[in-house]
Chains A and B, each alone.
Chain A
Amino acid sequence: MAGAATAGLEARKLVKRYGKQEALRGIDLAVEPGELVAVIGPNGAGKTTLLSILAGIVRPDAGEVSSPNGDIGWVPQQAALYRRLTVEENLLLFARLEGHEDPRRSVEEMLDLTGLRGRHDEVVARLSGGNQQRINIAIGLLGRPAVLLLDEPSVGLDPRQRARLWSFVLALAERGTTVIFTTHDIQEAERYGRRLLVLADGEGLFDGSAAALRDAVRGEAPEAAGSDFETAFVAFLQHRGH
């Protein structure tokens, strides 16, 4: 993608409460440019809350987020686009709202990037979930962000669509875009996340590579060390009291 900046993102001591419940308890996160970070954890861990705060949609009760050049792209879990408009109309609208000098050129660029050039004039509602998600991500990329936040991007996609989605995301990372994504699929996190951030009950339990997480399991729950990554991850959570 042209124009991707080289800045990363940093979050310090993020706290978020919903009533008496603490959704985030002092989370720290520093992401280098071009990193691919997977945020994982059980339901209610605070994954979506963290991404919403990083995206600037939700205000934290404490802590702060900084992105040196200020460009953070956000792709919500459910596709945020107009289903009764065509692929091209959606992209053109958001390119215009982003203030692109040549919005049509940006649309062409995104159509090439998403591989949807042949379906540019189709109404979005008629596209598959996978293709809708590609447009959803493409809209998130229109602002040419240095950091792209993806909230459970592969939910509801079949294996073929998931594979196409991840090759698309990996290509973005290779071009220098920092990508932070949440997922429930532990295998997916292991496969695509260069770095894993484990959250449980709003607490940051682990921050490191998949291999480092396996090492941690080996140390803390040796009985699960030889099992698959998901079983090892569950044993790790149990050992930490979650």
Chain B
Amino acid sequence: MYWLLLKDLQLLRRSPLQASLLVAYPVLIALLVGFAISREPGKPSVAFLNEVPAGARVAAGGTELPAVGAEARICAKVECVPVANRAEAEEEVRSGDVLAALILPADLVDRLNSLSTLNPRTPEVEVIVNEEDPLKAQVVDDRIESLLAQANLLVAKRIATEGGRYLGLVVDGGSFDVLGTPVEILGLRAAAKILQELRPAVPPAERAALDRVIRFATLARDNLDVASPLIDRLAQPIVVDKRSVSAPTPPLEVFAIVAAATLTLTFVVLLLVAGSLALEREENTFSRLTRGLVSRSALLAEKVGLGIAAGLAVTLLMLAGLQIFVSLDWGRFGLWLAAILFGGAALAAAGAALGATARDVRAVSLLAFMVSLPIALLSLVPSGTVGQTLYDAIRIVTALFPFKPALQAMTAALDPGHDIGGPLAHLAILAAAYGLLARFALRRFAAT
């Protein structure tokens, strides 16, 4: 078996394209993933035109609210491209230089202020989009909805805060400015107290009317105290209390590393083992080898060993490359090895089963891609994003192929808080099952 392994390594070395791909592929994936996860998510470019006159303020109860800094807030969320006019904004969108154009019309603040008058007008912002494809349209809609929700929340919070402040003045009294002149407000609390103190001096025949005023002031004070927090909540009546029933979600960068490492392991091992076995048939050497030189089981074991060795080398190379971008916990190296070895074994056995079914290397490579790519994509579908029946079908299909358990094992190896025993046992079962399938398929390998 050692000599066969040596021969396969010689063949790899003799095929510069294949050998360089085996090295270049993990390095390239590591670089791509590394760059992607070590940078902030890209902000969409949006052409921004602010026609609101400088100094215009939203007013509440006759008082101008402090400036909200709309432009600065919006431009913190998106990459603002300042434009001079609407025509320029439209051109930027049409050319595809920006995702959309956002225009704050000149009457926006007036319309906002009209909400507290008898003639309210709906405040509007203008958005120009170029929905040239469904994906882009979805991105634009999501961004706009998000921005609009944030803007509405901001305005509502300001109004609620000011409303609460005025309510406080009514209850507790104090002073506020009217056209630059401070005005003292007595407040319900103080009014009720004064009236209570005056009550003994009022003739008994008139006390009933005074008692009604005192009761009103007291009731109003007490109830408005309760109303204040209600007004505060008006801006955001529902808050989210999120609890997870699953193991802690791995950070996004860990998930990206795990997905990249598992994909690399899958393609390298699957293609190498399936191709190497198919090569024995293409070169007509299978019959010669199994005529007593090596048993079919030994040949199978050699191919699986080759796949595991290559998968281990390539995946570790990729993880080492990622170390440039993110800090990996090398203290968990033992678990990495376990995940790669078990995942590699199951994938190699699956590759052998595939390799035993096809006649030549090209056909088996195509078959390996056709099987593994959709399985890998299906394995990344999260629960709840598709119907239950479909998800159950996806779960069954993905459980029959080693990609998903390998992904789970890699997640557990790289991120604490996940169980690795289950995925490793799953991979061991798949390795045994695919090994048997491959061994069975080899029976007809030479005959056909």
Q: Which A residues fall within an 8 A CB radius of B?
A: 55-58, 74, 76, 78-85, 89, 93-94, 96-98, 123, 139
Contact = CB atoms under 8 A, between A and B. Distances in A.
A144 to B, nearest CB: 13
B284 A78 contact: yes
A82 B15 CA distance: 12
A85 B10 contact: yes
B230 interface: no
B280 to A, nearest CB: 9
A74 B446 CA distance: 14
A58 B287 CA distance: 10
Given A94-B293, A96-B3, A81 B287 contact: no
B287 A57 contact: yes
Given A55-B291, A123-B14, A79 B284 contact: yes
A76 B284 contact: yes
Contact of A58 (B11, B284, B447): B447
B7 interface: yes
A89 B9 CA distance: 12
Nearest to A99: B293
B85 interface: no
A81 B284 CA distance: 7
Given A55-B291, A139-B288, 4 more contacts: A78-B284, A81-B283, A82-B11, A83-B283
B152 interface: no
B150 interface: no
B285 interface: yes
A56 B446 CA distance: 12
Contacts of B11: 82, 84-85
Contacts of B283: 80-83
A78 B14 CA distance: 22
A84 B276 CA distance: 13
Given A74-B288, A80-B288, A97 B15 contact: no
A76 B10 contact: no
Contacts of B234: none
A90 B293 CA distance: 14
Contacts of B14: 84-85, 123
Given A74-B291, A82-B285, A89 B10 contact: yes
B285 A81 contact: yes
Contacts of B447: 58
Contacts of A79: 284
Interface string B215-235: 000000000000000000000
A147 to B, nearest CB: 13
Interface residues of B, number: 19
B287 to A, nearest CB: 5
Interface string B283-298: 1110111011110000
Contact of B289 (A58, A96, A97, A123): A97
A131 B289 CA distance: 21
A76 B7 contact: no
Nearest to A52: B287
Contacts of B7: 82, 85, 89, 93
A93 B3 contact: yes
A81 B285 CA distance: 6
5 closest A-B pairs by beta carbon, nearest first, are A80-B284, A97-B293, A80-B288, A84-B14, A96-B3
Most B CB within 10 A of own CB, among A58, A78, A84? A84
A4 B288 CA distance: 20
Contact of B288 (A58, A76, A89): A76
B15 A84 contact: yes
Interface string B179-215: 0000000000000000000000000000000000000
Nearest to A73: B291
A96 B1 CA distance: 10
A161 to B, nearest CB: 19
Contacts of B293: 94, 97-98
A74 to B, nearest CB: 6
Contacts of A139: 288
Nearest to B285: A80
A85 B285 CA distance: 13
Contacts of B291: 55-57, 74
A88 to B, nearest CB: 11
Interface in B1-40: 3-4, 7, 10-11, 14-15
A76 B3 contact: no
A87 to B, nearest CB: 13
B20 to A, nearest CB: 15
Contacts of B292: 56
